[in-house]
Structure 1
């Protein structure tokens, strides 16, 4: 009979030895605390008890090794019920054979010389049901845990493929644009516009910085960008939007802590800010867009809240936020928390990263 050996023989052996040792010590301690029973301790340390204990450990090890591994294989491979019943019957016969042989080989140790045969069978049945039940439970929980791990690995692989595909598309689009040509052209337009309009030239320069960051950090080798550059990118996006609306946008952006040296996966913060710009009321003096960033050692807290627009709403696909969650999962695993509160009039996002 071939089956997947999920648990090794020696791992099960040492667990069984540990359990026998713990329960044996508890039993000895309990007996020693009872004055009337304390004088019986000497009868416990005999060669018959020692031999029976060794055989019990070996039986339990073999039983659990075979049963847990087979039941694990049965559950994971979804075998037919007939295989399960047939194997369980074999286990029952094996258990009965061992316990009956033990009963007759070590009558003094069991103290059941005159016991009713029905009681012996009942005791063996209870032991067998317990052994099989424990084996099934361990096999089921192990299979459940392995499936969860496998699902998580597959999700990570799928996410990695999506990111690689997006990166390939980005690189393809980037190849269609000569970054140096674009940057030089914008600088030329900036220089030409400077004598005529300081506001226009400032907008061109800001756009140049935005494009340079987008094209340079989009394919970062380690997947991360300096946090100070991401913050500057957010400031530039806010700045160019202010120019679009004649500096009438009500936006408060505060940064606390030391950002130099810290790194973050690029375009995470700006996506949350752009979401607020897209769906928020940008001109409310009473309810401005509030953006806060706090850095403390290797942790980051980002907060963005905006008042929702009144009237017709722009259709939101949610792709941007879904993409953020996937990228955060891949980069920070369980070391981050993204909270989104979508209330009637207010939209709030909070991002906490515990290990930058």
Structure 2
């Protein structure tokens, strides 16, 4: 909360207190049955302003000095002692106001003269609520500061974790892609230059756009198209992948590189060389919703000896980026692997 706003809130509070005191004074008939502006402005208003000022002064001595520097850094015994000492200091002020200042203005709160002991108890009674409010406000501000600091730390931790997870996505896929291109160059394939061009486009996307928390959905779709094209080039056209997009893409945005693990996993563990059992990738979008449905036949002969980040990575990223805004279903049957992902793109 900005310092200026806090100051305005404090001023507003004491204006409300003054207004309430004035209304109570008027309601108790201190001016008689007939309202008199002259008496109100010359007597009632000055007295109530001074009373409110005394209460505010006691409040801020307690709130700004006693609570933070005595209670929080010392002990409750020291705080109670300091509070009693503060009341003893303020008692002469209240005595002076009630016995000298207010009568000079034309106001007398009590029909009898006050002694110092009575002034002490009047001071205590008049500021009991201020003591409580000072304690409450001080600890509420501490709680707010701790919460704000915790939110900052959590955001930094979240950014660090997301950056770490994202950094693991790129090498994971690039390792396999570079191996495919290396094989093409070894075979002196004419498709090797095109594959390198596709790879450069992927790297450009990864290095430039994926630093943003969200990217245009169309860019992510183009990235997936390049990944699929590169897969087909690396397999010399023997990759059978049905990639279909349904819906109109406009200004929707999505977290970058959030889908690549599913696609790459299908390439790594799925059957893609059989035209009768292609990898099926269906993306359906509308203004606020994204739906990926991926289905592939499991290649039982493939074993990934090197392991990988896989779905653990993408599940964690989804939970961090889209908490309560996504549904992920991963169903591994005997010979079929299905991924169904829904994301609420509305932000």
TM-score scaled by length of structure 1: 0.59
In structure 1, what is the equivalent of residue 110 of structure 2? 112
**2: distance between equivalents of 1:146 and 1:185?**
56
Work out whether 1:228 is the aligned partner of 2:225: no
Q: Would you say the 8 A contact 1:71–1:135 is kept in 2?
A: no
Q: How does 1:275-314 map to 2 (within 5 A)?
A: 291-295=283-287, 301-304=289-292
1:256 alignment counterpart: 248
Query: Are the equivalent residues in 1 in contact too, given 2:326–2:342 (CA < 8 A)?
Result: yes
Among 49, 55, 74, which residue is 2:50 paired with? 55
Residue 215, structure 1, aligned to residue 203, structure 2: yes
Q: 1:31·1:38 contact (CA, 8 Å) conserved in 2?
A: no
Q: Report the counterpart of residue 103 of structure 1 in structure 2.
A: 98
Does the CA-based 8 Å contact 1:272-1:304 persist in structure 2? no
Question: Which residue of structure 2 aligns with residue 147 of structure 1?
Answer: 146
The equivalent of 1:197 in structure 2 is none
Deviations along 1:115-147, one digit per CA (max 9) or x if unpaired, are 999998776444322101111111111111111
Q: How has the CA–CA distance of structure 1 residues 217 and 307 changed in structure 2, closer, same or farther, with 3 Å as cutoff?
A: closer
User: CA contact under 8 A between 1:337 and 1:351: conserved in structure 2?
Assistant: no
Match status 1:23 vs 2:20: yes
Q: Which residue does 2:76 correspond to in 1?
A: 81
8 Å Cα contact 1:223/1:265 also seen in 2: no
Is 1:321 aligned to 2:315, yes or no? Answer: yes
Describe the shift of the 1:62–1:342 C-alpha distance in structure 2 as closer, same or farther (beyond 3 A).
Answer: same
Structure 2 distance, partners of 1:241, 1:38, is: 94
2:126 match: 127
Residue 267 in structure 1 maps to residue 265 in structure 2:
no
Q: Which moved more, 1:183-192 or 1:220-229?
A: 183-192
Could you tell me how far apart the structure 2 residues matched to 1:136 and 1:306 are?
59
Can you give the 5+ residue segments of structure 2 that lack an aligned partner in the other structure? 299-306, 332-338
Q: Distance in 2 between matches of 1:307 and 1:123?
A: 80
Name which one, 1 or 2, has greater alpha-carbon Rg. 2
Q: Is the 8 A contact 2:18 2:52 kept in 1?
A: no
| Rounded Cα–Cα distance in structure 2 between residues aligned with 1:71 and 1:237 | 66
Distance 1:144-1:348 versus aligned 2 partners, 3 A rule:
same
1:352 paired to 2:345? yes
After superposition, the C-alpha distances for 1:138-190 in whole angstroms (9 at most, x for unaligned) are: 1111111111111122233344455666788899x79x99x9x9998688689
Contact 1:338/1:349, CA 8 A, preserved across alignment: no
The 8 Å contact of residues 7 and 65 in structure 1, kept in 2 or not, is answered as no
Alignment length (residue pairs): 313
Q: 1:184 to 1:241 in 2, by over 3 A?
A: closer
Match of 2:303 in 1: none
Equivalent position of 1:137 in the other structure: 136
